[in-house]
Amino acid sequence: MLKNFVMPDLYPAAPELFLVAMACAILLADAFAGASRRWLAPVLTMLTLIGCALITYATFDGTATLTFANMFVDDPLSDFLKLLLYVAIIVVLVYGRDYLAARNLDKGEYYLLLLFATLGMMVMISAYNFLTMYLGLELLSLSLYAMVAIDRDSPRATEAAMKYFVLGALASGLLLYGMSMIYGATGTLELGRVAQTIHEGTTNRTILVFGLVFLVAGVAFKLGVVPFHMWIPDVYHGAPTAVTLLISSAPKLAAFAMALRLLVSGLFGLAEHWQSMLMLMAVLSIGIGNLAAIAQTNIKRMLGYSAISHMGFMLLALMSGVAGAEVDPMALINAYSSALYYIISYVLMSLGAFGMVLLLSRGGYEADNLEDFKGLNKRSPWFALMMAILMFSMAGIPFFVGFFAKFSVLLAAVAAGHVAVVVLAVIFSLIGAYYYLRVVKLMYFDDPVDAASIRAGLDMRLLISLNGLAVALFGLFPDSLMMLCTATLVRSL
């Protein structure tokens, strides 16, 4: 058997291999360093991410390369998303450092789990086979389950982790069952060959459609859209805020890549079926997410329901790539680039919003209620302005990045002929603007409950400022990011 073994090309997977090697090194270093050198794990983790970014940039050649028996793809889309992923994880590290240290959670286990979660996301982004996609997804999911429960003394965190684990296991089962049905109908696990088999029309269409339903259900859970959204508010609320920051940001990039590769690269021949499913989930997510957020008094739960509505907009862009029986290549690119633009904008806004929650948290105190933002302008006019920018952007108010993200999605949906869906999305967005503007009202027009000064390291203060300004600048100059998204997809699809 060994004489028939063909050594795969390891070059396209160099960032993943480097991360695995560094994770093992950090595990050993942390075990021998002891409690007196807690700075070692976060520093090595940061250096690992920087190293992955340099390797990813150095290996970029603008072409798509398949390796590991066509199970792993290295293309411009995967490189672009991985670079964004590294930036998001570095921001998570900086924002969460003081929060974790104050609660004695900044242990080596946290950073190792963070690295393995990052590895899972990288594998998901580059997966070109059902098997590698599932392995990446499970590596990410198992790491997140443990991170949610990392504060073992918190009953709320333990409860959130159990809910996340049970519902996540159910979603993984649905996804795996759907993959098995697609495999049974097509005889292959490779996305390219699945697409070719469906195009040839030699498979049992009924089995394919049933498998597609289970696949879409699994993807919908990972995105956190209705009706698979139940875990979002509870996990966001129960997890330590530094972990909530992670869950709300970087995994969305991997879930987007997973949805795009599954539905577009593999199952585009079934677009008339998955388009209608995405349309229903998009409308329900935008509606229920915005309406439920209004009733929340905890800002983490509020942002959780907000995430559901934002993922609904992303699905609206994905389903707009197919307009009836006519498939226009430029319409496809415009729709999918608007989805990519939206997910990047959301990750940027989510990092800033939860970063502000972490900034206001201190010692053992959790600043996760809306009341904690009362009078923030009197305590720090600069950070009140940053939070206001983030809230305006999430509400879709001109001229911030969130407005242009929603505008590009709605344009793509109108071009695809989904005018009624666009009208509903706009109405629900106008309703949802209330709970974002409520935070601004509390910051500028209410008296502070706590007049204590805001304490944080210079790096965190600087990064939150850059985060908020980036939301404003990408809103003033949206074309550069949109053109980058379009160019990436043109060279990858």
- Encode pLDDT of 290-313 as tens digits: 999 999 999 999 999 999 999 999
pLDDT at 203: 84
CB atoms within 10 A of CB 380: 17
- What are the pLDDT digits (tens) for 157-172? 999 999 999 999 999 9
- What are the pLDDT digits (tens) for 104-128? 888 889 999 999 999 999 999 999 9
Q: Cα–Cα distances in Å, from 244 out to 149, 226, 235, 303, 441?
A: 11, 19, 8, 10, 25
Contacts of 55 (CB under 8 A, 6+ apart): 14, 15, 18
Rg (CA), the chain: 22
Residue 362: band (very low, low, confident or very high) from pLDDT cuts 50, 70, 90: confident
Signed CA dihedral, 81, 87, 92, 95: sign only = negative
Number of domains composing the chain: 1
- Determine the structural domain holding residue 78 and report its residue range: 10-490
Is 398 part of a structural domain of the chain? Answer: yes
pLDDT at 325: 41
Average pLDDT over residues 13-21: 95
Give me the percent of the chain exceeding a pLDDT of 70.
97
- Give which of 21, 53, 24, 26 is closest to 37, Cα–Cα: 26
Residue position matching structure tokens 């001229």: 399
Q: Tokens at residue 481, please?
A: 């990011």
State the DSSP H helix or E strand holding residue 489, giving kind and residue range, or none if neither: helix 479-490
Task: Report the predicted TM-score, pTM, of the whole model to 2 decimal places.
Answer: 0.94
pLDDT at residue 140 tops 90? yes
Mean pLDDT in the chain? 90
pLDDT at residue 327 tops 70? no
- What are the pLDDT digits (tens) for 264-282? 988 988 888 899 999 999 9
Is 371 part of a structural domain of the chain? Answer: yes
State the DSSP H helix or E strand holding residue 72, giving kind and residue range, or none if neither: strand 72-74
DSSP 240: -
Lowest-confidence pick of 2-6, 287-291, 322-326: 322-326
pLDDT at residue 318 tops 80? yes
Residue 324: band (very low, low, confident or very high) from pLDDT cuts 50, 70, 90: very low
Is 4 part of a structural domain of the chain? Answer: no
Average pLDDT over residues 400-420: 92
Is 263 part of a structural domain of the chain? Answer: yes
pLDDT at 240: 92
Is 1 part of a structural domain of the chain? Answer: no
Length of the chain: 493
Residue 363: band (very low, low, confident or very high) from pLDDT cuts 50, 70, 90: low
Euclidean distance between CA atoms 306 and 289, whole angstroms: 6
pLDDT at residue 204 tops 90? no
Is 52 part of a structural domain of the chain? Answer: yes
pLDDT at 21: 95
DSSP 74: E
Is 99 part of a structural domain of the chain? Answer: yes
Are 247 and 236 in contact, with CB atoms under 8 Å apart? yes
Question: Would you list the DSSP string of 144-203?
Answer: HHHHHT--TT-HHHHHHHHHHHHHHHHHHHHHHHHHHHHHHHHS--BHHHHHHHHHHT-S
In the 3-class helix/strand/coil scheme, how is 289-330 assigned residue by residue? Answer: HHHHHHCCCEHHHHHHHHHHHHHHHHHHHHHCCCECCECCHH
Question: Would you list the DSSP string of 10-43?
Answer: -GGGHHHHHHHHHHHHHHHHHHHH-GGGTTHHHH
pLDDT at residue 44 tops 60? yes
Are 13 and 68 in contact, with CB atoms under 8 Å apart? yes
Is 2 part of a structural domain of the chain? Answer: no
Q: How far is CA 397 from the centre of its chain?
A: 22
Euclidean distance between CA atoms 132 and 150, whole angstroms: 27
Q: Residue 277 burial by CB count (10 A; 0-12/13-18/19+): exposed, middle or buried?
A: middle
